[in-house]
Chains A and B, each alone.
Chain A
Amino acid sequence: MFRTSLRNLTAHKLRLALTCLTIVFGVAFVSGVLIFGDSASKAMTDAAKHDYDNVSVSVRTTDAARDDGQLPPLTDGFLAEVRGLPGGAAARGDVSGFTAVVDKKNDLVGPAYTAAGANFSPGPDGTDPEYAFTAGRGPASAGEVAIDAATAEKAGFRVGDRVKVVGDGPVMEKTLSGVFTTDSAKLRTGGTLTLFDTATAQGLFTRPGSFDEITAKAAPGTSDAALLAGIKPLAPGGTKTVTGATLAADDQRAIKSATSSMSTGLLVFAVIALFVGAFVIANTFTMLVAQRTRETALLRAIGATRRQVVRSVRFEALLLGLAGSAAGIAAGAGLALGLKALLAAGDNGLPDGPLVVTAGTVVWSLAVGVGVTVVAAWLPARRAAKVAPVAALRADLPQSAASLVRRNVAGAVVTAAGVALMVLVGQSGTPMETKLLGIVFGAVVALAGIVVLTPLIAGPVIRGLGAVFGKVFGVEGRLAKENALRNPRRTASTAAALMIGLVLVTAMSVFGSSLKGLLDSVALKGITADYTVSSVSHRPLDPGIAATVAGLPDVAASSPSRPATLTVAGKDRDAKALDGEQGFKVLHADFLAGGPEGLRNGLVVSERAAKDNGWKAGDRVPVEFADGKTADLVVGGVYEDSDLLGDYLVSTQTLAPHVQRSGDEMVLVAAVPGKEKQLRSELKAALGDNPALQIQTKDDLRKEFGGAIDQMLTILYGLLGMAIAIAVVGIVNTLAMSVFERTRELGMLRAVGLDRRRMRRMIRLESVAISVFGAGLGIVLGLAAGAFGIMSARGEAAGLEVVVPWDRVGIFLGLAVLVGILAAWWPARRAAKLDVLDALHAE
């Protein structure tokens, strides 16, 4: 019997190749993700291996202390103490933050988010072991900087040139004292690094005499642990003291967990692709088994048992799965290589390293590929066993007319159960996380039910489409419709594969457009300022900027938006500080009680916060600030919940005494009426034409946010592309099968006068009917799922409304037509090329 499996496999080479291709695609995705993840993880951990070779002990400000706007308590004095410890060979203090180099065209060199600045920290010999200078020397005074070699080359700077450097504040112009290379992690992501002398760096990033981190190297003969024990008692509060080895281990762990969560995220899409692939494989085996009915009957007639028949089909699936998976692993390695090359080209600086193909990757990929194939072929194999031996002797094979009734009932029940679950969970008061999980689970169940129901749905939909085709294209349109309807199960499962991809793509698009709508209707509505000033790196702005802006002649009102943390009734709350006088001239709040004047000396809160704390306007309430001091503030106003404003607002004047280092999220500016245009250039000039700062109108903000959502969607579309590609292979497969099965009919049509062009069109229309049905159903379900998801999330974000992205829906439908035409290309060609007489005499 195994010999028949092999024979069967080689008998239909093309079909085999197509089916194999679906396995290859799915497995390539899985193995590609695993290989890329392992390779990236190895490259990054390797590169980070020596980061702490010169660090025995590190003292850093804790994250909590940094977030509270407190200055690092690591002072020169502390550094001196560490230096004075017995057993410490060398100690250094580091400060770092955001600075970027401006090129000769006044643009930032490289992306802002990978640009950094740090202090040059020379030892007694005048060199800093972290940096190797290829030209010049380290910066020795406030007027000098050094930049990394790659940046210097990109921007065309030489030692001695005047270089513009920007940070969170005004533009600085310095003399380039040197160009260096380094192994430092600060440069690993392919960004730019600027070195300042320590005092200047402290001025920029902390405060004179204060560091972010102090590291010490143990002298020979002293263990790291001993040094740690020596330093720890000296370390000030708000800091954490650990050994370099601990930091290295933490980093390695962080890298591994980051790459593995990236892999997990991508694997979700690989699983979707495989799931879709399972449909195509199941479809192929169903077709193969049906086609071989007579052959199978003959085998049964001459004594093969049912078991043997079933086993031979499953063995065929096993072989196919193995071949496809092996090819898929190879393709996956290629995919990973391509991805690395792509990232390298995109300046995203993944460190170089070999491709890592672990045994786990190979085993998993094989298991998944073979598993999916064998499971997909499970039912078709059982169907093969049902073939009666007598079928071999009968000329006219009865069409498999198994009723769809049971299937439809089952489908309806499952769909209803899924929808019921979604509705129940959606309306329940469970927290968002569990709610979301429940809804997704319900949606998956409902989708499974719909998949079962597709043959039922296919009838009316394709008849409707066919009516249009018939009107527009005449006979071939009508014939195409009839052909698509001939085997509803096959049409349905071919279309279902495409449907799954489209459901996801459409639902995501609904989320995207609804979020954009939310931004428009809620967030942007609350901004009454004409301009916002923020950092392109989205880092906090120097408070000096708010002060500069406030002093401009054409500014009617301005206020920084400054993040803060307040402790209310023992709970840390995110708050914002606005200018006490002008905050509500650039932002809008709908006050339910009190008013904007309440901000000056008091606290203004959202309705939600008032309810949470049981406050009313006019109450005097105790609030603890980040520095630990408590003040009694009057609740000066309560406003309608707003995502833009958050829940707690205080004035910058109230906050100021409690923070040492403040940074603004943005500065909002309203122009004197009629001076809106001038204000922009005025702002630009006042900010020193700093390319690290952006001056945006509401429209610019809308575009930026919308662009980010679109980019996200594009990535998701790309990830779902594999599932869709597999579905397209499925359509090609089904059509090729149809053409093959109907050879004689096609011959007859050619004989009675259908020319090749119209023959091709007939096949194409059949294909389009399938693809549009699948995509259309997917779009409808995706819209429903997306709308349902948004409505369930409405409680989380006031003003969230369902926005249907009609333009995208139109594009998807257009693409579905295109996909149909493309999928039919080869089968239609084959049909048109048939020799009339050969076709007429085909079995």
Chain B
Amino acid sequence: MRPEFPAAAPRDPGFAAVATELSKVYGSGDTRVNALDRVSVGFTRGEFTAIMGPSGSGKSTLMHCMAGLDTISSGSVRLGGVELGDLNDNQLTMLRRDKVGFVFQAFNLLPTLNALENITLPMDIAGRKPSRAWLDRVVGIVGLADRLDHRPAQLSGGQQQRVAVARALAARPEIIFADEPTGNLDSRSGAEVLGFLRDSVREEGQTIVMVTHDPGAASYADRVLFLADGRIVDEMYEPTADRVLERMKRFDAARTT
């Protein structure tokens, strides 16, 4: 038996996730850090969003808060129509299980499971049977059909990250969060992984939010959000690597002056 989430409000049908006036404060007193400062943002269904910004600007924090991995200090986060602030730890866990996919920089696969088992892990946890056809499709998208019985230790970094992407896609989550998914990969493997992410958005209507440092990676997205000091300071549609790089240079300039 799965407890019901608080009833989904039909207010934001177009968005997979919405943050309103979201603030996150770490520490108190002298060590107080405003990691997020009244951020309002929505992630449209079927859109690939990249989040960029200087180190320490709050990218990861935003992602964690929206994914139900971290608590928020004030404001609101709605995911798939559910207000996260109303959920306790167990409900958050189940929300993540059922509605969120993750791709981490460090792959984070279970070394004891083979590729296929890693891919189906979230569904196994949820006790759901993956549809065979969909699974074949996902495996096809990431090009792992002949590696499914390999353990992570027998796979290259790029292959491992493809397994991680497939794991996120397989459960058909409401939204996938990827934190610097290409950070540990060489450029070719990185490009492959980014290609799969984009394809899943284009072809399957998946919603993806990706944090990245790399303007080239950001250029795969439909939209780029720029964060600085915990605030969204800019956004860009149909980004190209060059335009993103230009925009980023301005941050560096701002910092050096």
Contact = CB atoms under 8 A, between A and B. Distances in A.
Nearest to A481: B112
B70 A752 contact: no
B108 interface: yes
B133 interface: no
Contact of A482 (B64, B69, B112, B127): B112
Interface residues of A, number: 26
Given A752-B125, A753-B96, A755-B94, A840 B70 contact: no
Contact of B90 (A748, A755, A840): A755
A486 interface: yes
Contacts of A485: 112
Nearest to A486: B112
B187 interface: no
A832 to B, nearest CB: 10
B124 interface: yes
Contacts of B70: 837
B64 A475 contact: no
A836 interface: yes
A753 B94 contact: yes
A744 B90 CA distance: 19
Contacts of B104: 748, 840
B148 interface: no
Contact of B124 (A475, A486, A745, A837): A475
A485 B108 CA distance: 19
Nearest to A750: B93
A756 interface: yes
A474 B129 CA distance: 12
A475 B108 CA distance: 17
A749 B117 CA distance: 13
A840 B94 contact: no
A756 B69 contact: no
A745 B108 contact: yes
Contact of A836 (B69, B90, B106, B127): B69
Given A752-B97, A753-B98, A483 B108 contact: no
Contacts of B67: 751
Given A837-B69, A837-B70, A840-B104, A752 B112 contact: no
A750 B108 CA distance: 12
Nearest to A395: B184
B155 interface: no
Given A475-B121, A837-B64, A754 B112 contact: no
B46 to A, nearest CB: 22
Nearest to B167: A752
A840 B121 contact: no
Nearest to B122: A752
B53 to A, nearest CB: 19
A479 interface: yes
B90 A756 contact: yes
Nearest to A475: B124
A683 to B, nearest CB: 67
A462 to B, nearest CB: 12
Nearest to B109: A748
Contacts of B89: 755-756
A837 B126 CA distance: 21
A841 to B, nearest CB: 9
A748 B125 CA distance: 12
Nearest to A754: B125
Interface string B80-117: 00000000011001101110011010101011110000
A57 B112 CA distance: 82
B113 A482 contact: yes
Q: Which of B98, B112, B126 has the most CB of A within 10 A?
A: B112
Q: Which of B93, B108, B121 has the most CB of A within 10 A?
A: B93
Nearest to A832: B89
A474 B125 CA distance: 8
Contacts of A745: 108, 110-111
A318 to B, nearest CB: 35
Contacts of B108: 744-745, 747-748, 840
A454 to B, nearest CB: 20
Interface in A718-771: 744-745, 747-758
Q: Which of A475, A482, A758 has the most CB of B within 10 A?
A: A475
Contacts of B96: 751-753
Contacts of B111: 486, 745
A483 B113 CA distance: 10
A479 B97 contact: no
Nearest to B96: A753
Interface string A800-843: 00000000000000000000000000000000000011001000
A474 B122 CA distance: 12
Contacts of A749: 110, 121, 125
Contacts of A757: 90
B112 A483 contact: yes
Contacts of B64: 837
Interface in A691-712: none
B69 A753 contact: no
B124 A474 contact: yes
A737 to B, nearest CB: 16
Contact of B93 (A478, A482, A753): A753
Contacts of A751: 67, 69, 96, 102
A19 to B, nearest CB: 26
A758 B90 CA distance: 11
Q: Which of A478, A747, A752, A758 has the most CB of B within 10 A?
A: A752
B236 to A, nearest CB: 28
A755 B97 CA distance: 9
Contacts of A744: 106, 108
Interface in B117-140: 121-122, 124-127
Q: Which of A486, A750, A756 has the most CB of B within 10 A?
A: A750
A110 B32 CA distance: 75
B209 to A, nearest CB: 15
A613 to B, nearest CB: 72
Nearest to B164: A748
Contacts of B110: 479, 482, 745, 748-749
B121 A752 contact: yes
Interface in A452-481: 474-475, 478-479
Given A752-B96, A755-B94, A840-B104, A475 B69 contact: no
Q: Which of A744, A754, A758 has the most CB of B within 10 A?
A: A754
A756 B94 CA distance: 11
A811 B125 CA distance: 33
Interface string B54-70: 00000000001001011
Q: Which of B64, B125, B127 has the most CB of A within 10 A?
A: B125
Interface in A516-548: none
Contacts of B102: 748, 751-752
B180 to A, nearest CB: 12
A576 B69 CA distance: 84
Given A483-B112, A744-B108, A837-B64, 9 more contacts: A482-B112, A749-B110, A750-B93, A752-B96, A752-B167, A753-B97, A754-B125, A755-B89, A755-B93
11 contacts: A479-B112, A482-B113, A749-B121, A752-B96, A752-B102, A752-B122, A752-B125, A753-B97, A753-B122, A755-B94, A840-B108
Interface of B: 64, 67, 69-70, 89-90, 93-94, 96-98, 101-102, 104, 106, 108, 110-113, 121-122, 124-127, 153, 167
Identify the 8 closest CB pairs spanning chains A and B, nearest first. A753-B97, A482-B112, A748-B108, A755-B93, A475-B124, A752-B122, A753-B125, A753-B96
